[in-house]
Structure 1
């Protein structure tokens, strides 16, 4: 087997094993409690922390040694100072544009008042669920499924193909929620349908996150977008359709589409690798 074929086999195998281990680590604890219970959340925090320590090992073993000599392992993992501020602000701005419709809905239905109450912020910070959804889950997932997998895949495939392959591991990993739903009494068919839908949109988000990581060379870019998306949740079009006023309904729906179209137009120009001093993962021929 040629060396390049061996590298690709190792990369696919490593990504598959990391996905399995990441999900399995969430279920090694025997507990009668649901995933929302504080004891379950704390145990899963410990699990993903340990997995996060293990995840870079396949990357170090499987990478071309010449590449490691050119860049440090930390840089390949998206941990670097150069271009850091841009990597935080620009992906956040892009994601806000994408969520133009849902953000407008917060203003229309009055939910925006939540952000003006210091007590709400304090209660959120004290909540383990808040830490799980906005910090620990997006950070550990971006670390394992983006930072540790994408560099491996990009030495076997060109950037664009790798960006589409990498999220499949991320999307499939979310099928483990079938177990949680069935524990709550949901039938398998219903649980499978919901998880299949979740697989679809997490894979689409994964493509976006992988694109941000590759174009910026920063894990903070995909983490920022991931955390914001977790906070907003999946856009609820049904709430808009419930408005009886046709003008208001049409206006709100148009903002959902305007946000999506604006995001499509802005995505490539606002993620120019030069803006992030990134010459690690993206070359001129790939832009």
Structure 2
């Protein structure tokens, strides 16, 4: 296959419109389908100690198995639809006017980062674990890493992955989100001629915005009070910022490697690890405070180094200006 660029093949407005459409389709589908929709009792419940209230019989909450199954189905279908839209954009006469392509399907596969060859080394998959060097060290102190005394494969792997929540959080969720918010959105911005910086720091804002809808869930689960509203706002701000930052990390991996597989693995790993809890770890292991702090510093410095040194891929479709775009 031969791909040769002569300039952007869509306007910035069109690229933003497609990105908004992908985001709307992914999030909106969770509420468009009845079985995937959440339902809450429309009443105020004051809950002591700031915890969530008790779920009522007729309500449908986010972690209900029926809700999870429905949402996994619609999210998967929407992901396929978004990938198909990218294919049709590549196939349009406007695209062919600027691009010589005899194999539109193969071209789309490359743009989506779905080539089976993937990165040639394992290093891009180790960037996120390097950042979590501190939390991993704390887990080793707790003897919770694989092959350590407190790690139980049946409980910590089988029991998690074969639950509906685990299947959502560690399999379908990361795969569909990376395909939509990295593969599809970055493919569109590439066709707009966006710079690497814009794709790393601007495109992930859509991923952060896709998590705003969790505020309604939090507000209802915590009783629909003013305290619940404050919690929902703070939680949503934190989650949106955190997911936007992760989106920038994931976009960098995607662009540098030209593959969606390192971002997917990174997403799964980060979901498993959760948000680092350095304060709690220092309290739990007071004799190892210095070691934990050093491990966190090593992780951050190692991550900064690994971003450049471990992600370089000479044949990445994305990490080149147009005139250096590889020919396939």
With the length of structure 1 as denominator, give the TM-score of the two structures.
0.88
Task: Confirm whether residue 69 of structure 1 aligns to residue 96 of structure 2.
Answer: no
Aligned twin of 1:181: 218
Q: Distance in 2 between matches of 1:161 and 1:114?
A: 44
- Residue by residue over 1:210-258, the C-alpha shift from the partner in whole angstroms, topping out at 9 and shown as x without a partner, is 011111111111101001000100101221342573x621221221121
Choose the corresponding residue for 1:60, options 87, 102, 120: 87
Quick check: which one's helix share is greater?
A: 1
Separation in structure 1 between the aligned mates of residue 127 and residue 244 of structure 2, nearest angstrom: 18
- Cα RMSD of the aligned pairs, angstroms, is 2.4
In the alignment, structure 1 residue 121 sits paired with structure 2 residue 167:
no
**Structure 1 CA distance for aligned equivalents of residues 72 and 234 of structure 2:** 28
Question: 1:132 corresponds to which residue?
Answer: 168
Q: How does 1:136-215 map onto structure 2 within 5 Å?
A: 136-156=172-192, 157-185=194-222, 187-215=228-256
The TM-score normalised by the length of structure 2 is 0.78
Q: Distance between the aligned counterparts of 2:202 and 2:159, measured in 1?
A: 39
**Residue 144 (structure 1) shift:** 0.5
Q: Does 1:98 align with 2:138?
A: no
| Residue aligning to 2:24 | 20
8 Å CA contact retained: 2:219, 2:232: yes
Tell me, which stretches of 5 or more residues in structure 1 are unaligned? none
**Alignment partner, residue 261 of structure 1:** 301
* Whole-Å separation in 2 of the counterparts to 1:59 and 1:9: 16
Q: Using a 3 Å threshold, how does the CA distance of structure 1 residues 6 and 91 change in structure 2: closer, same or farther?
A: closer
Determine which structure has more spread, i.e. the larger CA radius of gyration: 2
Given the alignment of the two structures, is residue 281 of structure 1 paired with residue 323 of structure 2, yes or no?
Answer: no
CA distance in structure 2 between the aligned counterparts of 1:284 and 1:101, rounded to whole angstroms: 37
* 2:161–2:170 contact (8 Å) kept in structure 1: no
Q: How many residues align?
A: 278
